[in-house]
Structure 1
Amino acid sequence: MTEADATFDLVVVGGGMVGAAFALAASGQGRSIAVVEPREPARQWPEGEIDLRVSALSRASQRMLQRLDAWDRIRELGASPYRQMHVWDALGGGEIHFDSRDVGEADLGHIVENRVIQLALWEELEAAEDVVLLCPAAISDMERTQAGWRLLLTDARSVETPLLVGADGRDSLVRELAGIATEGWEYGQKAIVANVRPERTHQETAWQRFLPTGPLALLPLADGRCSIVWSADDARAAELLAMDEDAFSEALTAASESRLGRLTLDGPRAAVPLRLQHAKQYVRPGLALVGDAAHAIHPLAGQGVNLGFLDAAELASALDLAESAGRSPAGLWTLRHYERARRGDNLAMLAAMDAFKRLFGQDGEPMVSLRGLGLRIADRFAPLKRRFMDRALGLGQDLPPLARPWIGH
């Protein structure tokens, strides 16, 4: 590679939700920042159209987005609160119900289109004087230098930085070129996503039914529709995708036990192969991974982007801590501080979701009966339910500063 065209204190590869949030969290501290992203987010879309890709944002994620001045814009573009959650087992008969009123909260979280989150963050980045958006652009190669990293972009430009952050998704090229291995496995499932119109009101409630072939989630939208995430074994997913709209609607209604009456498909379907994946290291000298570049999780609890936002908040906090202590933000002391703070928690969440997937995927006795009994006991044991909700809401203090509860809350 030749001499770089530009040098930045920090380069973030990937300007999606997590990468944009991290870049914004790291700005305003006297650093020059570049974000490398292949395409700008959509700026507008037809009225009434709901994107197939949505996220269930936790309260911790909401607080972070508020502190990054993106939440008001997200609310303006569309955020759908959900106040209750019903989870039940197709075979075991057990059921558990969560209600935000039980913990004195207005809601349990918000369902938001991914494009809405990215656009709100992107607009804040555009207004940040210390951020340069290299878009459209992507990296084609990178090499370690004495001063950090040199990146070659696909348009033949190159940039140098002492600190490179990979936020480029579960197939991360940054991770691959840095030689960081992953562990995990394919689930042999696909997540089918679509929007549907329920016959009855969704009651601002998230509904999830565990089926032997994978869980079905119905996520409430503000206009009365639901976004679905139907995880199904590959063979079943292929059948569902091949169905015409009426047949799919019938299958979906049956899978939901008609809890909301007939569910009618409203628009296209898409499917994403599912895997569990965890980077063996999150950091190298002058390099860190965040979000899906570091970990990919089963979507049954909707935790993927929330884990990524916590990565972003923790890494931004580690950089600030290092500078206040007179240490290099790109040094291994700084980056390992971030890795220690996040890798264990992420691994625990990956393991828990994997265990749930496997537990509810079994259809033999006595597991089915024990599973149903466990859900019924958990539903009646208030302290356990409160612990689940506290974690989902992010009410604890063991969070990075950007995601912590407001003082006095």
Structure 2
Amino acid sequence: MTTTTSQTADIIIVGGGPAGLAFARSVADTGLNIVVIEKNSEDSLANPAYDGREIALTHASKRTMQDIDAWGRIDETQIHLLKDASVLDGNSPYQLYFGVPSQFERKLFGNDVDNLGYLVSNNLIRKAVYDSVKTQQNIRLLCGTGVKNVSTNDVCSYVELENGEKFDTPLLVIADSRFSASRRQIGISADSHDFGRSMIVCRMEHTLSNHHRAVECFYYGVTLALLPLTENVTNCVITVNSQEAQDILALNADDFAKKVTQYIGGQLGEMKLISTQHTYPLVGVHANRFYQGRAVLIGDSAVGMHPVTAHGFNLGLNSVAVLSKLVKQAVAKNQDYGSQKILARYEREHMLITRPMYHGTNAMVKLFTTDSKPAKLARSAVLRISNNLPPLKALITKQLTG
């Protein structure tokens, strides 16, 4: 009988998505030996395919991307300005509007920015982060094999791969997905909410300008988000019940374009489908804690958001920024960077942002997708109060810009 010798790494990261790779790159300057385990091939990391998703990045997320040498690796022509945003409810022309922070908002929060944020395709973000990681000799990518089992205690974490390799580490970072098996294996439960809906994402070309304004349309029975890329190209996010999503996807390109045009009342002129269409189930997840023993959750394994607030990846980058800061500080002081003290502080800081945003988003989605008469009245009232209460509007703008 033979046994497999366990290998040791200073940090092991389960999941080579953008959050996992961003964390690896963020702590690479410590000189620690870092191993990233990803079940997909390295070619899929190096050349990620277009998946329909355009990521709305806040100014804070941009700074994190700059810090890990990823922002400058994205073609400037593929970084699209998000100048302002509005929210529409039902058939009413009234809109909740968010523009560049007002003088009041800048004074209240010190938010001195000239746009709400940026839109970048998910595949370009993934490639930029991968390319940055590949410049670091102390980051090892193990691709093409999945994780069979993980376990942890107060002294060490252990990882067994499907190919039989075994590792131990003083810090295990779980960054795989909102449906993380590794999270369950270390005993962390999660609040999960299946919205029973699916989103369809694609790019549409149109004859009228979008003015670089994002629009969230809560119509009755369907939600449509319009994310501006160029003035005449918009990423459309259509959210409907899962059965209707299949019916919409069955339409030919011309009929699909007509349906989207009909949804928005022709506001963007004639429309044309110019990309592949992609569909995703809508399930929100929030882990009930972010660490156990010497294992810690970041990215979607910690929090998977409903896309309506466009903050999912921003929260993932926040988890990267908070945890990497604490790890780097501990290494600089020759302290135990995987200690309970470090991980508990990370949990407190990240949870302070994620819990209210997760539950607040879910409550908003429930209200704005309920079409009973009392809900319709409440929806209208929420928009008007938010529009006319400066401190509240300033707080929402602060969250949008990061």
Q: Normalised by the size of structure 2, how large is the TM-score?
A: 0.90
Q: Which residue in 1 is equivalent to 2:73?
A: 73
Q: Which of 150, 154, 159 is the aligned partner of 1:142? A: 150
Distance between the aligned counterparts of 1:153 and 1:389, measured in 2?
A: 44
Deviations 1:78-105 (A, max 9, x none): 2111111121112454311222264652
- The whole-number CA distance in structure 2 between the counterparts of 1:51 and 1:273 is 14
Structure 1 distance, partners of 2:392, 2:153, is 51
Question: Which residue number corresponds to residue 398 of structure 1?
Answer: none
Structure 1 contact 93–372 (Cα < 8 Å) conserved: no
The separation in 1 between residues aligned to 2:185 and 2:224, in whole angstroms, is 36
Q: CA RMSD in A?
A: 2.3
Query: How big is each residue's C-alpha offset from its partner over 1:258-297, in whole Å with a ceiling of 9 and x where there is no partner?
Result: 2212332223222111112111221011100111111221
> May I ask how many residue pairs the two structures share in their alignment?
391
Is the 2:220–2:369 Cα contact (8 Å) retained in structure 1? Answer: yes
Match among 359, 364, 376 for residue 356 of structure 1: 364
Q: TM-score, normalised by structure 1?
A: 0.89
- Distance, in Å, in 2 between the alignment partners of 1:371 and 1:153 is 49
* 1:37-86 alpha-carbon deviations (Å, 9 max, x no partner): 223345458xxx96412211111100111111111112447211111112
Number of the residue aligned with 1:8 = 9
**Identity over aligned pairs, percent:** 28
Q: Would you say 1:27 and 2:3 are equivalent positions?
A: no
List per-residue Cα deviations over 1:351-399 (Å, max 9, x = no partner).
11111111111223243234224323433444432222122212xxxxx
CA–CA distance in structure 2, aligned partners of residues 77 and 13 of structure 1: 32
Structure-2 residue corresponding to 1:204: 212
The structural deviation recorded for 1:111 is 0.9
Q: Is the 8 A contact 1:195 1:265 kept in 2?
A: yes
CA–CA distance in structure 1, aligned partners of residues 209 and 8 of structure 2:
54
State the shift of 1:325 in Å: 5.6
The CA distance in 2 between the partners of 1:341 and 1:176, in whole Å, is 22
The code of the aligned residue for 1:53 comes to R
Distance 1:165 1:42 in 2: 19
Aligned to 1:312, what secondary structure does the other structure show?
A: helix
- Counterpart pick for 2:275 among 257, 267, 271: 267
Question: What amino acid is the match of 1:387?
Answer: L
**Offset from partner CA, 1:206-247 (integer Å, 9 cap, x none):** 111012324211111137311111111223223212222222
User: What is the identity, as a one-letter code, of the residue corresponding to 1:134?
Assistant: L
Does the 8 Å contact 1:92/1:369 carry over to 2? no
Question: Is the 2:261–2:269 Cα contact (8 Å) retained in structure 1?
Answer: yes
The answer to whether 1:218 aligns with 2:226 is yes
Partners of 2:356 and 2:378 lie apart in 1 by 23
Which runs of 5 or more structure 1 residues have no equivalent in the other structure? 395-409
The one-letter code matched in structure 1 to 2:74 is I
Paired position in structure 2 for 1:53: 53
Whole-Å Cα distance in 2 between the matches of residues 176 and 326 of structure 1? 31
Q: CA 1:5–1:246 in structure 2 vs 1: closer, same or farther (change >3 Å)?
A: same
Q: Match for residue 115 of structure 1?
A: 123
The alpha-carbon deviation at position 305 of structure 1 amounts to: 0.5
AA aligned opposite 1:249? A
Matches of 1:187 and 1:146 in 2, distance apart? Answer: 37
Structural mapping, 1:302-321, within 5 Å: 302-321=310-329
Moved more, 187-196 or 73-82: 73-82
2: CA distance between counterparts of 1:143 and 1:101? 47
Specify whether residues 7 and 218 from structure 1 end up closer, same or farther in structure 2 by C-alpha distance, changes over 3 A only: same
**Matched AA of 1:21:** A
Alignment partner of 1:27: what SS?
helix
Alpha-carbon offset, residue 145 of structure 1: 7.0
Aligned match of 1:397: none
Q: How far apart, in 2, do the equivalents of 1:295 and 1:350 lie?
A: 8
8 Å Cα contact 2:154/2:293 also seen in 1:
no
CA contact (8 A) 2:30 2:331 kept: no
SS of structure 2 residue aligned to 1:69: coil
Match 2:396 to one of 382, 388, 406: 388
Question: Could you list the per-position Cα deviations for residues 303-339 of structure 1 after superposition, in whole angstroms to 9, with x for gaps in the alignment?
Answer: 1100111011111122234345654211211111111
TM-aligned CA deviation for residue 8 of structure 1: 0.8
- Structure 2 counterpart SS, 1:355: helix
